[in-house]
Structure 1
Amino acid sequence: MNKQKKAAPTGSEFKPLTKTNIAENKRPYKVELALNSILHNGPRGITQPEAFTSYRESCLHTTISSLKHEKGINFISQPDFNTVVYFNQKPFSRYWLASDKDRVNALKLLNAYRSNRGLTKVSYEAWHKPDYKAA
């Protein structure tokens, strides 16, 4: 009945933590998923039900607000009456990036989050003519 205690892993059993294998396992932040979805949808914009379907976002208005107030990315919002399912239901808001400058700032922020996780940069082209105000 000689029970030996197992020693701490050494040699081939031990995998040192490096920036690479930490980043591989790091999950994306909610704001990163939101930015990716907003930029991917382009001129169509995004609503709460679409965000929930896309990446399980339950508080899109909060994420949009934090992007606006903390990161300086402006949005346009309007009620989307196509989201009304039940009688007397308020419509969900549809959010768009307000200008091309905001689209560029959102893309920079998204790529900063991606580079922290060791991923390559993404590129979303402008979806309007340069003389238009909305992105």
Structure 2
Amino acid sequence: MNKQKKAAPTGSEFTPLTKTNIAENKRPYKVELALNSILHNGPRGITQPEAFSSYRESCLHTTISSLRHDKNIDFISLPDLETVAHFHQKPFNRYWLATDSDRVKALRLLNFYRSNRGLEKVKYEAWHSTSDKAA
């Protein structure tokens, strides 16, 4: 029962933590993936099947509801008849940001999540010219 004590590790044996190491090890939150997809799609919006094929989101309506109620980001949702594949199937809703100020809120929130993971900010331009009345 002769147990040998291990020597304490020296500083050269540790890998220093940098922002790139942190970003590589942290996975994005589901809401971060949703915001990125919504902002990337722009005025076209997103539906449940598109969210599932993009980042495996199975409850888009729940994520949208959370963004509406918890983060005060408003969305417009309308049934998208193009998502009906079978007779008597209910269409999925298509969601898009209601106004340009909601787009700015979503972009700030996305960049907040990215900065917490040590990533650079992303920039999505406005979807309409300043002369347009609606987003």
> What TM-score comes out, normalization by structure 2 length?
0.88
Give distance in 1, aligned partners of 2:87 and 2:5. 67
Residues 1:106 and 2:89 are matched in the alignment: no
> What TM-score comes out, normalization by structure 1 length?
0.88
Letter in 1 for 2:49: P
SS at match of 1:128: coil
| Pair 79,2 (structure 1): closer, same or farther in 2 beyond 3 Å | same
CA contact (8 A) 1:98 1:133 kept: no
Structure 2 spans left out of the alignment, 5+ residues: none
Give distance in 2, aligned partners of 1:10 and 1:95. 54
Residue 13 of structure 1, CA deviation: 2.9
Residue in 2 aligned with 1:61?
61
Aligned residues: 134
Give distance in 1, aligned partners of 2:105 and 2:99. 10
Residue in 1 aligned with 2:115?
115
Structure 1 spans left out of the alignment, 5+ residues: none
Give distance in 2, aligned partners of 1:90 and 1:133. 32
CA contact (8 A) 1:78 1:94 kept: yes
Give distance in 1, aligned partners of 2:54 and 2:35. 12
Residue 9 of structure 1, CA deviation: 4.5
